[in-house]
Amino acid sequence: MPQFGFGTWRVADGEEAKNSVQSALSTGYRLIDTAALYGNEVGVGQALLSSGVPRNEVFVTTKLWNDSHQYDKALQAFDDSLERLGLDYIDLYLIHWPVPSQDLYIEAWRALERLYEEKRVRAIGISNFQPTHVEKLLASVNTPPAVNQIELHPRLQQLETRRTCQQHDIHIESWSPLMRGGELLNEPSLVAIAQKYNKTVAQVVLRWHIDSGLIVIPKSVHVDRIRENYDIWDFSLDQDDMERIAQLDSDRRTGPDPTSM
């Protein structure tokens, strides 16, 4: 699985999804992240098909939505996503949210295990699972998750969840890695670090994810920003910079709380 990828949350289906994913692929991205909820799997699939990039060089992730945690519904939801994407297999299939009020994510996981055993998906994982959800899942299933995709950025560093997942060899993938609304891009300490490396603040934050050992999936529909986000491979942050960014953690979410979602 590539460590750096392209997210498609709030990318409209059709031409916007097709064009943005094609731009990402032509820039060099090889991880594309979508979900049933996003409503853009058709456009993403069209971009993959028309990009000219061999299928085995692109790592495709999609996700199971909250209304399909029952075993049979989960299997059908996977088939529906596969058809919309126009693919023969998925590289990574995630349970999008644990939805503890339903308490069906273990049942959903058993469906994902079947898909994995049948080799219709290359890896299975979870998204937005907190330590209690992770531990409960691991105590009840045969195949551990490969990935936990969570909201993660300098203002929400999720250290406890990261430690729990590391103990169980579950890789962490960051969604909303630049935070929403642009607030993070004006943070003075990040501005100073960006000036030091002659980079943008967004590039510094994305490099922080990479240097922290995280998988990261920034999203944009603008070609120049898609290329800018990818241009982070000619520098790395020193220890002082990493420590300065660590001090920005305020446990502040911009998305839903997984315990009540």
| Active site members | 38
Spatial CA neighbour of 203 closest among 235, 174, 181, 158:
235
Which position has the token pair 């993660």? 152
Q: What is the DSSP letter of 162?
A: H
Q: Which of 98, 103, 97, 113 has its CA nearest to residue 146? A: 113
Query: Residues 90, 96, 101, CA angle at the centre, nearest 5°?
Result: 145
Neighbouring-strand partners of residue 33: 7, 61
Q: CA of 182: how far to CAs of 25, 202, 233, in Å? A: 25, 10, 23
* Residue pair 141/109 in contact by the 8 Å Cβ criterion: yes
Angle between helices 188-197 and 239-246 (to 10 degrees): 160
Angle CA(57)–CA(125)–CA(205) in degrees, nearest 5? 70
Backbone CA torsion sign across 177, 261, 142, 80: negative
Between CA 99 and CA 107, with CA 102 as vertex, the angle to 5 degrees is: 90
Estimate to the nearest angstrom the gap between the alpha carbon of 56 and the chain centroid: 19
